[in-house]
Amino acid sequence: MKRVITYGTFDLIHYGHINLLERARRLGDYLIVGLSTNEFNAIKNKKCYFSYEERKRLLEAIRYVDLVIPEEAWEQKASDIKLYQIDTFVIGDDWEGKFDELKSLCEVVYLNRTPEVSTTKIKSELKIF
């Protein structure tokens, strides 16, 4: 079984998120999503509309997602890759090159984002946060 992992905040889930999750899942047989906790988002200076529990429940309802785990620190990615025996690490191309150090542990794939949509844009247009 080929295992894939990705990470993110996944607040205000939209079709760009679905595109990323679907494409990530096509790279393997089992998709794990590391979901940023509220506390970790505070460190990243991100404020979420939905709580961690609500975002987790939404992700678990998406057919491409097999398991949701909490992301609590930048450094945990390497240990998660080892713990879950990950074959492929996937992240949006806005992070291009930032996780190349993980290439010694697994394949690293930067997927193109859906250019016309983002949570930041949605929040800005709706004047949320």
Edge-to-edge strand list for the sheet holding 88-92: 67-71, 30-36, 3-8, 88-92, 107-111
Is residue 44 part of the annotated active site? The answer reads yes
Q: Which of 9, 15, 63 is nearest to 38 (CA)?
A: 9
The single residue listed with the structure tokens 């961690």 is 52
**Catalytic site residue from 44, 47, 82, 121:** 44
Q: Is 77 an annotated catalytic residue?
A: no
Dihedral sign, Cα of residue 92, residue 67, residue 2, residue 27: negative
What number of CA atoms fall less than 13 Å from residue 25's CA on the CB side? 15
Distance from C-alpha of 5 to C-alpha of 81, rounded to nearest angstrom: 8
The catalytic residues are 44, 46
